[in-house]
Structure 1
Amino acid sequence: MSVTRSTLLQVTRIYAEDAALELPRGQEIVARWPAADIVPVASHWQIPEVHGDEANVARWVRIKTQALVLGVKKSLVTRPNGRSADFIAPSTANGCAMACAYCYVPRRKGYSNPVTVFANIEQISRHLARHIAKQGVKTEPTQCDPEAWVYDIGENSDCSVDALLSENVRDLCDLFRMTPTAKASFATKFVNRDLLEWDPAGRVRIRFSLMPAAVAKVTDLRTSPMAERIAAINDFVEAGYEVHVNFSPVILTPDWIGEWTELFAQLDAALSARAKAQLACEVIFLTHNEQLHDVNLGWHPTAEELLWTPENQETKLSQNGGVNVRYRYGLKSRAVAQLEGLIARHLPYCRVRYAF
């Protein structure tokens, strides 16, 4: 069953900072939901009834559907990356209306994770334009792109869903469309066909996240079905987007090799020659977290049967100091090599940008 705008978002309450309501973008967003209650808040990070209440675990999906937060992005920092992109741009949103059981964003937000939209898009856009100008022309290729500086604009949200809420994503894509030295990039699990009308002129890279459909039915709740994501690739390429794929997260189920082999066969059969010619991928194996595991047990314990397998996992200290779990070193290194071999066999035209 395809997820739609109406099933994802039925906003009845908007938690809003005063500063966000004063900005044109904040006013535009409120106007989209005229029947919603406006709840003033001092900070988009400090909403006890949304973020701090353990009872909200049982209402996880309802809150994602009905609550929206409006804030102002205080710290505008563009960070070096080197994996998905050369740089991570300041977020224009945080959180997601979808409900993937392995998502890392709820680890920071607590017991609920509705979308927060930042209304100061003009300030964010000016920051990005200055940063791009400062880089100048890219003189040496990187694995991110041989010619353009790539900026991930959706680190903490899904931009295809964000585009249902405001014009923030379109504003950023328009900025990059007019910028010959840089590209925007974002990963997505939602097929938003409104984006096909945007004329990105090759300056926006969409990365459709793919995994075996049987696993996605358990872990990727409220997302576009895998067949719909695959079917959209050709259309987005024809519309002027660069389209890559994310094979992520790779979850080591008992039949993971057979499941991924089937997915690769489906992808190969669906792609046009033009889509194949520009295809590249990222491979990311599952990283989990004990706090998120505990939260998931309160609303979706079935997913944890796939995600939480202590016999196969070991602790990992993340770059920001958090303690996560990943597959044990030897097991993971063998699995990475096996999956790369499957890609080479079934999708020989698909360049693996990185795998970990």
Structure 2
Amino acid sequence: MALATSSLLQVSRIYAEDAALALPRGQEIVARWPDADIVPVASHWQIPEVHGDEANVRRWVRIKTEALVLGVKKSLVTRPNGRSADFIAPSTANGCAMACAYCYVPRRKGYSNPVTVFANIDQITRHIARHIAKQGEKTTPNQCDPDAWVYDIGENSDCSVDALISENVRELCDLFRMSPTAKASFATKFVNRDLLDWDPAGRTRIRFSLMPAETAKVTDIRTSPVSERIAAINDFVEAGYEVHVNFSPVILTPTWLEDWAELLDELDAALSPVAKTQLAAEVIFLTHNEALHDVNLGWHPKAEELLWTPDQQEPKRSENGAINVRYRYGLKSQAVATLTALIEQKLPYCRIRYAF
């Protein structure tokens, strides 16, 4: 596995729980950055220098670049989902080296939230393997997949970036390659071509997140360019991955519909016949958060010109009780219908798994 030498990860400090350092995976990660300072911490959740401190906003990107956290995942729970996947698997990482302005993960852990890697990968894979075995065969097709139980393995991180740091993601994909009744799934905004050598045998679904390029330049900070994500799809299909797309988040800029038409034309022109036959999409409109809006004003106010539009938005209470904002009901329902019709026109072979 190639070590990340780009500007995305230049790790100089590793905050580590003792239990994580005692495990082989923790030791392997420390060895990848031998010059990094090791900072002992009692809990990966409570590191004021890294997250949870409002003053860190000014150092948002630097923290994501230079800091890495090693922890142990203590609660191993596989949750039902039913939308993007049948189940949400326990995370093997939390946080991200990228810095998308709309990302929901900082709302939970706080502010910069660099990558935390969980070193107890053996416990996590055993838990998932037992859960897969307990399900048996999938006998009723659904929007997640007609035949396999789908497990999202990247709810709180980007697995393509995580794979630059450790073998956790590869070990999960190897588990699903040997699981004829289940598939792994994760969304990504980063093209990691090391994954092309993994031989997933169709048991891992990668969902490349796409949006119009000009919008992404403002909101998708430190990610692979949208054109690079599109160009990678055929190669990943050829390498044995199932590849879907996430049209997400859909942001209602003044030129949003024209921009999406251009993006869909670019995607159609780039895809191979094989990629087209297996393509499906999720369509997710922007949900934002007032606290995140306030944080973004401290480091990237230009993004908030696109994301925070009170004349278009209304409050929405999330499942965990947080107050978010989304596009007003009538505006959003009309925009969903308009965009899905455009997708059906431009990409008639692309099944829309859900849109909201």
Instruction: Answer whether TM exceeds 0.5 for this pair.
Output: yes
- 1:201 aligns to what? 201
Residue correspondence of structure 1 range 276-291 to structure 2 within 5 A: 276-291=276-291
CA shift in 2, pair 1:310/1:189, >3 Å: same
8 Å contact kept, 1:253–1:306? yes
- 1:321 aligns to what? 321
Give the C-alpha shift of residue 52 in structure 1.
2.6
Residue 240, structure 1, aligned to residue 240, structure 2: yes
Matched position secondary structure for 2:343: helix
Distance (Å, rounded) in 1 between the aligned partners of 2:269 and 2:317: 40
Name stretches of at least 5 consecutive residues in structure 1 with no aligned partner.
none
- 1:302 aligns to what? 302
Distance (Å, rounded) in 2 between the aligned partners of 1:156 and 1:320: 15
- 2:66 aligns to what? 66
Distance (Å, rounded) in 2 between the aligned partners of 1:121 and 1:291: 33
Residue 168, structure 1, aligned to residue 155, structure 2: no
Count of residue pairs the alignment pairs up? 353
Distance (Å, rounded) in 2 between the aligned partners of 1:305 and 1:188: 24
Distance (Å, rounded) in 2 between the aligned partners of 1:284 and 1:53: 30
Matched position secondary structure for 1:48: coil
Matched position secondary structure for 1:299: coil
Distance (Å, rounded) in 1 between the aligned partners of 2:202 and 2:228: 22
Residue 261, structure 1, aligned to residue 272, structure 2: no
- 1:270 aligns to what? 270
- 1:106 aligns to what? 106
Residue 229, structure 1, aligned to residue 213, structure 2: no
- 1:126 aligns to what? 126
Amino acid paired to 1:143 = Q
1:116-140 per-position Cα deviation (integer Å, ceiling 9, x unaligned)? 0000000000000000000000000
Matched position secondary structure for 1:7: coil
Distance (Å, rounded) in 1 between the aligned partners of 2:108 and 2:81: 20
Give the alignment's TM-score, normalised by structure 1. 0.99
CA shift in 2, pair 1:312/1:78, >3 Å: same
Residue correspondence of structure 1 range 20-59 to structure 2 within 5 A: 20-59=20-59
Give the C-alpha shift of residue 5 in structure 1.
4.6
Distance (Å, rounded) in 2 between the aligned partners of 1:74 and 1:96: 20
Residue 149, structure 1, aligned to residue 149, structure 2: yes
Distance (Å, rounded) in 2 between the aligned partners of 1:53 and 1:308: 23
Distance (Å, rounded) in 2 between the aligned partners of 1:229 and 1:143: 24
8 Å contact kept, 1:65–1:97? yes
Give the alignment's TM-score, normalised by structure 2. 0.99
Give the C-alpha shift of residue 278 in structure 1.
0.2
Matched position secondary structure for 1:90: coil
Name stretches of at least 5 consecutive residues in structure 2 with no aligned partner.
none
- 1:89 aligns to what? 89
Distance (Å, rounded) in 2 between the aligned partners of 1:52 and 1:94: 14
1:220-252 per-position Cα deviation (integer Å, ceiling 9, x unaligned)? 010000110000000000000000000000000
Matched position secondary structure for 2:298: helix
1:14-57 per-position Cα deviation (integer Å, ceiling 9, x unaligned)? 00000000000000000000000000000000011111322210
Give the C-alpha shift of residue 113 in structure 1.
1.1
Residue 334, structure 1, aligned to residue 339, structure 2: no
Amino acid paired to 1:142 = N
Matched position secondary structure for 1:325: strand
Distance (Å, rounded) in 2 between the aligned partners of 1:108 and 1:139: 36
1:99-156 per-position Cα deviation (integer Å, ceiling 9, x unaligned)? 1000000011222210000000000000000000000000000100000000000000
- 1:12 aligns to what? 12
1:259-305 per-position Cα deviation (integer Å, ceiling 9, x unaligned)? 00000000000000000000000000000000000000000000000
Amino acid paired to 2:277 = A
Identity %: 85
Matched position secondary structure for 2:187: strand
